[in-house]
Amino acid sequence: MGKNSDHVTPATLYDFQEAGMKNLLLVMVAIFCNSIEAQNWNRFRGPSGDGQFAALNLPFAWKEGTFKWKVDLPGSGHASPVIWGEKIFTTCASPSDSVQYVLCIDTETGKILWQKEFGSTPYPHHKFNSYASSTPAVDQDFLFVSWTTKKSNILLCLDHHGKMIWKRDFGAYQTEHGNGFSPIVYGRHVFVTHDHESDSALYSLNRKTGETIWKVDRTGSKPSASTPTIYQTNQGKALVVSTSQSHGCYAVDIESGKISWETGPGSLDKRSVSSPYFAGGYFYASCGSGGRGSRFLIIKPPSSLPGKAEIKHTITRNAPYVPTSLVIEDFVFSISDGGIASAIDLKSGDNLWLERVKGNFFASPVRSGELIFLVTREGKVMTVKANRKGLQHLGESRLNETVHNTPAFSPRGIFIRTFNSLIHIPIKS
């Protein structure tokens, strides 16, 4: 378990007042930072991990001639792009010799500003995986990149110019499928999972030095490939929320490293691939195997900490597995790996509707305003709207490349990563 929090003695009135001012300052700093990050797609599925962005005047469909730009990458991979200001970052790797690349690309022109190479050793991985499957995380100073092999789980910290700041290796990484999780960064912390067939843990590292602040050990035979998320309580407490077979969906106090709540062992009894997130007053987490979701949880976090989380609804039919869902007003929209779109009422847990969407999906749906973008593995992009009655299909585009990557937004438009290229679809003039 993590490092114990400092011992607190009985406070005087002055102590309480001082603590209150400190908490207010922390809240104000968090609000300021969130306002900056809201314009930056700084992690997998965006600043809040919920796949949502401000409304952009985006086209419903497009052809290659309408791309702002398209850049060919020196390798392939499943990593989604992340964006900070005028820079977009992604990774890829050579399928033949597993040489790994980190790239920085100008959002306006598509010019590769810099490219770094890292040697690696080829290793067997699942046919649906790649040597570059982890999405980077970025903040105002640093870029955090995760690589795994059978013998290592590496986290790199680079500055925005590609200079190496530090490197951590958490040791052997043994799974059937290979890497799928991504790091996230918050305040002084960068969070990374080392979740495999043994000796697993969730780590908090000092973002400047790479030193361990705390770790939470995880057990269970089914490794999780999900990406954690950050949750701020109404009391100003910051938690990092993750999934594992041993704890279910669980929240860890960012400062102490202590578990604040969990859904408990058995609540997620298989592999978690989709990522937990918070929206509409609830958390959402799922698990599955063999390309099918087996359990989707809608979770009410406790009102006070530490506390007991309440599983409001458990959905077992057409549950999402790899793609992470979206919350739209008072329902959850999800797409299964096999292309079953569904809507689940948050209050009752009832299925409002089901619709088969032609295609197979690993990319998670993302939403800008009312527009939802669904990207199939076959490279088809569908622009839709969803309400409690069903889907409204607005447009369809074909990229003619394989896509396992989740798109990213910036005020400039939408960025779609395929296996081998990065495409910028601009906002309409």
Out of 63-67, 109-113, 254-258, least confident range: 63-67
pLDDT of residue 14: 34
pLDDT of residue 129: 66
pLDDT value at residue 207:
98
pLDDT at 176: 64
Q: What's the mean per-residue pLDDT of the chain?
A: 87
Dihedral angle, C-alpha 336, 280, 242, 216, nearest 10 °: -170
- For residue 24, pLDDT over 70 is answered with no
Q: What would the DSSP string read from start to end of 219-288? A: --SS---PPPEEEE-TTS-EEEEEEETTTEEEEEETTT--EEEE--TTSS-SB--SPPEEETTEEEEEEE
Residue 16 phi/psi, 5° resolution?
A: -65, -45
What's residue 175's pLDDT? 67
Tokens of 264: 């408990």
Using alpha carbons, list the distances in angstroms from residue 13 to 9, 23, 126, 145, 329. 13, 15, 60, 45, 43
pLDDT value for 297:
96
pLDDT at 219: 75
Please provide the size of the chain in residues: 429
**Phi-psi group of 385: left, alpha or beta (phi > 0 → left; psi -120 to 50 → alpha; rest → beta):** beta
In angstroms, what is the C-alpha Rg of the chain?
21
Q: Which residue has the higher pLDDT, 208 or 244?
A: 208
Average pLDDT of 379-383? 97
State residue 375's pLDDT score: 98
The helix/strand/coil state of 145 is strand
pLDDT at residue 102 above 50?
yes
Spatial distance between the Cα atoms of 245 and 264, rounded to a whole number of angstroms: 8
What average pLDDT does range 108-128 have in this prediction?
84
237 pLDDT above the threshold of 60: yes
For the cut 80, the answer to whether the pLDDT of residue 264 exceeds it is yes
Answer whether residue 87 shows pLDDT above 90: yes
Mean pLDDT throughout 142-171?
Answer: 92
How much is the pLDDT for 39? 80
pLDDT value at 365 more than 80 = yes
Q: Give the mean pLDDT of 91-118.
A: 93
**Mean pLDDT value of segment 223-237:** 89
Please give the model's pTM, rounded to 2 decimal places. 0.88
pLDDT tens-digit map of 308-359? 999 999 999 888 899 999 999 999 999 999 999 999 999 999 999 999 999 9
* pLDDT of amino acid 26: 46
> Above 70 in pLDDT, residue 21?
no
Which pair of tokens denotes residue 356?
């088969």
Q: For residue 20, is pLDDT > 60?
A: no
Q: Which residues of 95-104 are buried (b: 16+ CB within 10 A; e: fewer)?
A: beebbbbbbb
